[in-house]
Amino acid sequence: MDYSSKLNPVARDMKPSGIRKFFEIAATRKDCISLGVGEPDFVTPEKFSRAGINSILEGKTQYTANAGLIQLRRAISEYLDGFIGVHYDPASEIIVTVGASEGLDAAFRAICAPGDEILVPEPCFVCYAPLVSLTGATPVPVRCTIENEFKLDAAALEAAITPRTKAVVVAFPNNPTGGIMEKSDLEKIAPVILKHDLMVFSDEIYGELVYGGAKFTSIASLEGMRERTIVLSGFSKAFAMTGWRLGYICAPRPIMDVVYKIHQYAIMCAPTAAQYAALAALEVSMGDGFLEVSEMRAKYDERRRYLVDRLNALGLTCFEPRGAFYAFPCVASTGMDGEQFALALLDAKNVAVVPGSAFGDSGKDFVRISYAYSVDAIKTALDKIEEFLAELKK
């Protein structure tokens, strides 16, 4: 059978994830040291896990409401009231999703249509452009530069807008760069968004993980922005719950009524046990001042400072990332682009990093290095990178 003619051409011709493609190679190598996976090395705190386990033992194994447990949606609403200063009605403006990724997919499908253009700042997480393409809309990259700490520049945003532009993705703290946009930065792009009546997809999955005295601000909290912003977040990163696959999406009711139908038909509801674990994560954290999250963030910060200082000392220019858990050093000084560097490093020293090109063409001279690993693992990998760089000079 000629399967090619039977398949959706957009999906058929879609490139596989640059991250996964690279690590399929790394996975075949014995004793490979990986600094590539964007996943906390911490185990989910026991109090959170215990709540999920207990829900199963107590027989809570049925479907929940399509939008998720109402008590979880109330907890999310209360949490966001305090964290970003924006209120969402638990009954009509919050849906619990299977990770933030499902929320992104549902949000794009609710807003995007054939003929639309969606602005996607680069470098960026690998899923935005493919998910937009699957809706029939066109993702349009907007280049963010190291000179501007990979922030979305108002002039670059304005220049990318056409009569077909419907929305922009705002994803800070950023994966892969670790860049952030504080309130003063967001206030520069908000007038452009308002002027052109754009929608905003605000990916806030790393919002709790900021460092160096920075403060996270949601663009939804700025004047005139709540009504046009879809907030997407979850429990994977800050709460060390990647495998639980629990996220949430928040937006005004007219948007959520459409998102709800997509979620209802595609998913039914997020896993019940994971919802109870997430509920405990919020209730425990709001009760103890986010002790577990704060302790993990402090360890990330220690690793961040060590990694960035060491990379710069090695001659791999790296601006200071103040969010998420990634560094994004430039490797152009080696005479290689990011993919060449990553493959050569893997071959010579059995150390895996991610080529920056996986996150868009604007990342081609960079590699992504995660510091969601122990200091010892980071030190060992950097020692090997130092050896690798020394050998290049011979």
CATH number of the domain bearing residue 111: 3.40.640.10
Same structural domain for residues 205 and 154? yes
What the block records as the tokens of 159 is 């220049």
Return the pLDDT at 339: 95
Same structural domain for residues 296 and 284? no
Residue with tokens 């994560």: 281
Same structural domain for residues 282 and 306? no
Q: Are 222 and 76 in contact (CB under 8 A)?
A: no
Residue ranges in the chain modelled with pLDDT below 50 = none
What the block records as the tokens of 354 is 């991610």
Residue partners of 160: CB distance under 8 A and separation at least 6: 119, 140, 142
Return the pLDDT at 390: 95
Same structural domain for residues 105 and 76? yes
In the chain, the number of structural domains is 2
Return the pLDDT at 269: 98
Same structural domain for residues 225 and 366? no
Return the pLDDT at 29: 84
Q: Please report, for residues 10, 65, 97, 252, 321, the alpha-carbon distance to residue 72 in angstroms, rounded to integers and kept in the order given.
A: 36, 11, 12, 18, 32
Range of the domain at 325: 3-44+292-392
- Which is nearest to 129 in space by CA: 370, 368, 362? 362
Return the pLDDT at 25: 76
Please tell me whether the overall predicted TM-score, pTM, comes out greater than 0.85 for this model: yes
Same structural domain for residues 362 and 315? yes
Same structural domain for residues 215 and 130? yes
Residue partners of 88: CB distance under 8 A and separation at least 6: 76, 77, 80, 94, 231, 250, 251
Q: Please report, for residues 13, 86, 114, 131, the alpha-carbon distance to residue 5 in angstroms, rounded to integers and kept in the order given.
A: 12, 48, 21, 21
- Which is nearest to 235 in space by CA: 19, 70, 52, 16? 52
Q: Are 373 and 32 in contact (CB under 8 A)?
A: no
| Cα dihedral: 29, 31, 36, 37 (round 10) | 100
Question: Could you tell me the CATH number of the domain that includes residue 383?
Answer: 3.90.1150.10
Neighbours of 369 (CB within 10 A): 29
**Angle (deg, nearest 10), helices 46-57 and 272-288:** 140
Same structural domain for residues 8 and 66? no
Same structural domain for residues 387 and 359? yes
**Angle (deg, nearest 10), helices 18-26 and 338-349:** 20
Q: Please report, for residues 324, 330, 336, 345, the alpha-carbon distance to residue 392 in angstroms, rounded to integers and kept in the order given.
A: 31, 16, 11, 11
In the listed set 254, 288, 322, which residue is the last one of a domain according to the structure? 288
Return the pLDDT at 181: 98
